[in-house]
Structure 1
């Protein structure tokens, strides 16, 4: 896996953390260390954790730090190699055939058929794009939503960094992409894929770190309001009965929404009116509204 520069482009994990911080991503020491090692050892990085802990954002920050394009493959149930690798532009192929017919000349069938699978008709999907765009950061988002067959395909690609296109030949990455895989752990990832990767469990940030993140990403939010928002969000995450505890993205949304309303000191009425920025299920909103007074006083 390449960093887009010569090996050792980052002097240390602390150097990488500083570069990530320039794009607004504040990585703690353990996350910065494992990301640094993934770059140095040219290994994929598998990030697991609850939704909203910043797994996807790390890949985006890495791309910014490396000044490399971010190529995202969003996984979903039923995804297969075609959606990840390539397809042929069928409508343009049909138009090409009609153009040949309209020329009024005798058509060489073999030549016409081979021309249909020219590079210009190839639709590169994320994995193929990442192999061809050197250097690049390939984000395989929510790999836990894909099935076993797709995992096996992905493992093969990550082992060789090449794919075969029958009509064109083998495409090998001139410089293997930086690969970041994320998982919300809706199911277990197979051991073979985990062995190929370096692994890190991404926790929700501590109170102090989340305040720092909020102040970095939304500096317009007053310090007192930032601390109040983070304090409430941290308490909501501790409530095991919530269907979906808020992530850092919700913290940022809520703080920005409150700032837009001119709020400087969070009160029950304002918190209740803006809950849609931080909790996204009706049952959660009802539960939080009933406890807001207690939460804000604690």
Structure 2
């Protein structure tokens, strides 16, 4: 891994840092990220799936030369999966080997020594939260706690305790404290509300869908092979779809996937057949696809073509 670099000195530096890694952020996001880094507070990012929340942590880790440690949340996530657990299989092997050597006649002292041995560091399996607390020599890692809303309130309470003191107690080993707290990014898709107590520990930012100008910049940065006309039509079309009250609007990730798919098909511009054939790259629910396959889809494309032509004429004048 590359040498760790210092955190940005200003909001403009933060914007430049993200931009250099291909992440097109608005100033509000750069501001809250800068403050999070300067104040040492976790950053809580909420928003629809596919708007780039997870990517922020990846870009930040890469740009700062820090290790990225990711805790992917899911229903039923507990301490054993998030913090640590003991390697019981290896412990049993160790116990059997010790018994074979002394024939089980070692007495209380031997049993105490055995218990101390099997609950030593070499049998400890470190999960993401413990890895983040222990860190690495040189610089604290970036800890991404992804899709926290998939967990339950019990895990939230445990996480709040860790984020309050950046320490965890393992009964057999004692308390482990972070020498330098990790840079913490928490994301949620807002499928449920997260408790206020946890949010108060963080700086909060809602990551919205980008406007057309920023989405165009993102597309150019991530899929530079897309031509100017195709890129404008893609962005305009996706922006229109987000105004149709679909069950699930396409995110930036889908915009980029669609652009890549159209390039693979050697398309230079959108047409009704191409939109129909590739709409499954953009939309993920059949009701939405059926709606766009009807007259709504043709109407959207006609509006996009018409508005872009009018804009080109106005620009020419």
Name 1:74's counterpart in structure 2: 72
- Superposition deviation, residue 190 in structure 1: 1.4
- Superposition deviation, residue 217 in structure 1: 0.6
Structure 1 alignment gaps of length 5 or more = none
Name 1:91's counterpart in structure 2: 89
- Paired with 1:153 and 1:276, the residues of 2 have a C-alpha distance of 40
Name 2:282's counterpart in structure 1: 278
- Paired with 1:237 and 1:216, the residues of 2 have a C-alpha distance of 22
**Paired residue for 2:264, among 260, 274, 285?**
260
Name 1:62's counterpart in structure 2: 60
Question: Matches of residues 25-40 of structure 1 in structure 2 within 5 Å?
Answer: 25-40=23-38
Count of residue pairs the alignment pairs up: 292
TM-score by length of 1: 0.94
Secondary structure at the residue paired with 1:98? helix
Is residue 145–residue 184 contact of structure 2 (8 Å, CA) maintained in 1? yes
Offset from partner CA, 1:198-237 (integer Å, 9 cap, x none): 1111110010100110110111111211111111111111
**Are the structure 2 counterparts of residues 262 and 5 from structure 1 closer, same or farther at C-alpha, using a change threshold of 3 Å?**
closer
Structure 2 alignment gaps of length 5 or more = 304-317
- Superposition deviation, residue 78 in structure 1: 2.2
Larger radius of gyration: 2
Question: Matches of residues 45-194 of structure 1 in structure 2 within 5 Å?
Answer: 45-103=43-101, 107=106, 108-134=110-136, 135-194=140-199
TM-score by length of 2: 0.88
Is residue 141–residue 183 contact of structure 2 (8 Å, CA) maintained in 1? yes
Is residue 5–residue 65 contact of structure 2 (8 Å, CA) maintained in 1? no
- Superposition deviation, residue 104 in structure 1: 5.4
Secondary structure at the residue paired with 2:144? strand
- Paired with 1:223 and 1:119, the residues of 2 have a C-alpha distance of 57
Runs of 4+ in structure 1 off by over 4 angstroms are 104-107
- Paired with 2:96 and 2:119, the residues of 1 have a C-alpha distance of 15
Name 2:200's counterpart in structure 1: 195
Name 1:231's counterpart in structure 2: 236
Is residue 50–residue 251 contact of structure 2 (8 Å, CA) maintained in 1? yes
- Paired with 1:247 and 1:216, the residues of 2 have a C-alpha distance of 16
Name 2:307's counterpart in structure 1: none
Secondary structure at the residue paired with 1:274? helix
- Superposition deviation, residue 77 in structure 1: 2.1
Secondary structure at the residue paired with 1:164? strand
- Paired with 1:223 and 1:58, the residues of 2 have a C-alpha distance of 26
- Superposition deviation, residue 168 in structure 1: 1.1
Secondary structure at the residue paired with 1:180? strand
Name 2:213's counterpart in structure 1: 208
- Superposition deviation, residue 100 in structure 1: 2.5
- Superposition deviation, residue 174 in structure 1: 1.0
- Paired with 1:104 and 1:85, the residues of 2 have a C-alpha distance of 35
- My pick for the range that moved more, 94-103 or 254-263, is 94-103
- My pick for the range that moved more, 106-115 or 116-125, is 106-115
Secondary structure at the residue paired with 2:172? coil
- Superposition deviation, residue 102 in structure 1: 3.9
- Paired with 2:259 and 2:41, the residues of 1 have a C-alpha distance of 37
- Paired with 2:86 and 2:113, the residues of 1 have a C-alpha distance of 18
